[in-house]
């Protein structure tokens, strides 16, 4: 079977490239970017991924120079383009203007990798450095307003490179570009059949549960009720039988309103056996009392999950010699936690804290989905016969509402920013910064930036989309933009960020507003049009209350995301409903894409 290799430079989208290639029917494998060229000669093509490093940094990921002497086609993406230029005699320079998010390229050569595309194409950028001079033999294939060499190619050697990311869903014809490279340039044949994967995963489960003495271990899953853990559990039951797989649900107190009961009922309806429910609400709230730092919150929750798991595994029934831990971990959980050699840590997932890594090292963890993305997990679920009511549920983070309830260590005030305010005024809005830092992903690196709040004008989605991109590209100290829905205009003298920690009262309020939003999306037939809609509680106060931020996004796999432009009348109606909730002082609409913002705020 023909194979293509993706050389991993540490980019957040490395495995996404491989998955997109597999979707086209060509088997893709991932190898470190420094893999010896002699080991790559048998592949039909090479793709060099993006990465968080700069080619100017000492020790930055580098390919074997002999790679470029192989007689096989090569495609460089983002950092991969810069590596190609650097190794072949071109010139790379630090960018004065960063490009993160949507951009429009002008195609100069509508052949080879751009065959069948239009003169203007929408693409997704995430870079700082840029190619200022192409290597000898290359010609310009595409450009943007801020990036002269958006794509280049040497057709005689079948070397091509693009500064944007064709693998992400928001590069509209990115799959066509990859298809052109595989079939038009590389001459590959579509022989890979992903439908075979269910049987392969089940066979892998059976292999992994055997210990060194070839004894057949059992598996204990701690289920969340989400798509990933449900599919992973179902695969294990099919592979091992119901007598060797058990499920426990830990109620941390951070789930959605009524979710514990709902999950138990769904589990019973699916005929997967009984679900043991363990109530640990008091324990989790006690451990998080007074904690405000987001990373500390995640780590405490992760450690506490393991403590609970260890306590349960210590029961005689779950002797570690006979049982191992099952998890619904999917690949973005691994890659965004710095799970590959050069990858930047974007956020710490609860199933990748230190103690979980230790269990993995001891071969005590089964993760059937660790190489799959969310959309692939749903396809596996369909193949397993799971109903849409389970598979189409919006993703929900493992730490639950704890990471959607923002905290503040001390009283803070909104901050004016002349540069952002001037840019916003050109579009008819007023703007200020909130000193609440949220997580972003820019240039394949994690960033912490302040929140930009726009207000004082009606919602115009197209205007706001362009303004958001300009703000986050031009001002590195902000990576997220939200617009005020209610009140429309904000008097900064009346508002402040109050000191706030995680309390049962704040979580209860967040559960209430989250329930209102979820019900509204169902009633307005918007739920299935949205991939996920985090509802975030901010301690931004006018009358001693809280502010709600809405984040409806569309995505395929969570690696990139685009804000869903809910019609203005429906937005206004939802904001009005939330304004009636006791304790809510304001409502914001998060209008940021990923990149530059992550889906979750923390």
- Which positions are annotated as active-site residues? 78, 165, 167
In this structure, the strands spanning 74-77 and 159-162 are: parallel
CA dihedral 98, 101, 104, 106 (to 10 degrees): 60
Coil, strand or helix at 21: helix
Q: Report in angstroms the alpha-carbon separations of 21 from 9, 376, 377.
A: 17, 13, 17
Closest CA to 333 of 360, 314, 310: 360
Say if CB 394 and CB 530 are below 8 A apart.
yes
Give the helix/strand (H/E) hosting 8: strand 3-8
Q: Tell me the helix, strand and coil percentages in the chain, rounded to 5.
A: 35, 25, 40
Strand, coil or helix: 126? strand
Measure Cα distances from 406 to 337, 382, 503, 536 in Å: 21, 36, 11, 7
Pairing assessment for the beta strands 245-251 and 218-222 based on DSSP bridges: parallel
No. of helices (H) and no. of strands (E), the chain: 16, 26
Q: Which of 133, 53, 47, 127 is nearest to 86 (CA)?
A: 133
Buried b (16+ CB within 10 A) or exposed e, 332-367: bbbbbbbbbebbbbbbbbbbbbeebeebbeeebbbb
Single out the residue of 52, 54, 14, 44 nearest to residue 31, CA to CA. Answer: 14
The token pair at 332 is 């973005």
CA 197 to chain centre: 23
Structure tokens at 545: 């209350």
Strand, coil or helix: 283: helix
Phi, psi for residue 526 in degrees, rounded to 5: -105, -15
Rounded-to-integer distance, Cα 480 and Cα 332, Å: 21
CB atoms within 10 A of CB 539: 22
Query: How far is 386 from 381, CA to CA, in rounded Å?
Result: 5
Longest dimension (CA), the chain: 70
């Amino acid at each position: 079977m023909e194979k293509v290799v993706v050389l991993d430079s540490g980019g957040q989208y490395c495995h996404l490239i491989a998955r997109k290639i597999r979707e086209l029917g060509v088997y893709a494998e991932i190898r470190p970017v420094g893999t010896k060229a002699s080991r790559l000669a048998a592949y039909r093509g090479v793709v060099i991924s993006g990465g968080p490093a700069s080619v100017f940094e000492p020790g930055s990921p580098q390919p074997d120079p002999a790679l470029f002497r192989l007689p096989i086609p090569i495609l460089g993406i983002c950092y991969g383009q810069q590596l190609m230029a650097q190794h072949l005699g071109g010139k790379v320079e630090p960018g004065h203007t960063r490009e993160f998010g949507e951009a429009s390229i002008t195609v100069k050569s509508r052949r080879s990798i751009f065959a069948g595309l239009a003169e203007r194409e929408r693409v997704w950028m995430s870079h700082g450095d840029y190619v200022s001079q192409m290597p000898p033999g290359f010609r310009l294939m595409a450009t943007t307003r801020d990036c002269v060499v958006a794509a280049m190619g040497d057709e005689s050697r079948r070397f091509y490179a693009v500064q944007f990311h064709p693998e992400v869903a928001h590069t509209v014809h990115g799959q066509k570009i990859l298809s052109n490279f595989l079939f038009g340039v590389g001459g590959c044949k579509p022989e890979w059949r992903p439908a075979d994967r269910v049987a392969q995963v089940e066979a892998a489960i059976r292999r992994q549960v055997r210990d060194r003495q070839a004894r057949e271990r059992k598996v204990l899953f701690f289920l969340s009720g989400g798509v990933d853990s449900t599919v992973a559990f179902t695969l294990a039951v099919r592979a091992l039988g119901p007598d060797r797989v058990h499920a426990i649900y830990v109620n941390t107190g951070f789930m959605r309103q009524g979710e514990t009961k709902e999950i138990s009922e769904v589990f019973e309806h699916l005929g997967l056996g009984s679900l043991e429910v363990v109530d640990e609400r008091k324990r989790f709230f006690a451990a998080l009392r007074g904690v405000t730092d987001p990373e500390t919150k995640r780590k405490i929750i992760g450690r506490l999950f393991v403590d609970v798991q260890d306590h349960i595994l210590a029961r005689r029934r779950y002797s570690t010699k006979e049982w191992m831990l099952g998890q619904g971990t999917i690949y973005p959980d691994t890659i965004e936690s710095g799970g590959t050699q050069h990858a930047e840590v974007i956020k710490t997932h609860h199933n990748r804290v230190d103690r979980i890594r230790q269990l993995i090292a001891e071969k005590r963890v089964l993760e059937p989905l660790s190489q799959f993305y969310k959309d692939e997990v749903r396809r596996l679920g369909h193949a397993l016969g799971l109903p849409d009511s389970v598979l189409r549920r919006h993703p929900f983070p493992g730490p639950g509402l704890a990471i959607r309830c923002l905290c503040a260590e001390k009283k803070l005030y909104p901050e004016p920013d002349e540069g952002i305010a001037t840019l916003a005024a050109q579009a008819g809005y007023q703007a200020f910064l909130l000193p609440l830092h949220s997580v972003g992903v820019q240039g394949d690196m994690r960033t912490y930036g302040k929140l930009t709040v726009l207000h004082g004008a009606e919602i115009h989605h197209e205007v706001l989309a362009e303004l958001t991109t300009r703000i986050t590209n031009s001002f590195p100290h902000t990576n997220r933009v939200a617009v005020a829905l209610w009140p429309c205009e904000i008097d900064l003298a009346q508002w402040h960020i109050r000191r706030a920690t995680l309390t049962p009262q704040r979580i209860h309020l967040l559960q209430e507003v989250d329930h209102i939003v979820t019900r509204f999306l169902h009633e307005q037939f918007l739920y299935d049009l949205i991939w996920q809609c985090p509802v975030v509680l901010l301690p931004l106060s006018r009358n001693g209350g809280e502010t709600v931020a809405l984040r409806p996004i569309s995505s395929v796999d969570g690696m990139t995301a685009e804000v869903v432009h809910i019609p203005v009348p429906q937005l206004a109606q939802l904001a009005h409903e939330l304004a009636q909730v006791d304790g809510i002082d304001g409502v914001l609409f998060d209008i940021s894409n990923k990149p530059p913002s992550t889906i979750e705020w923390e």
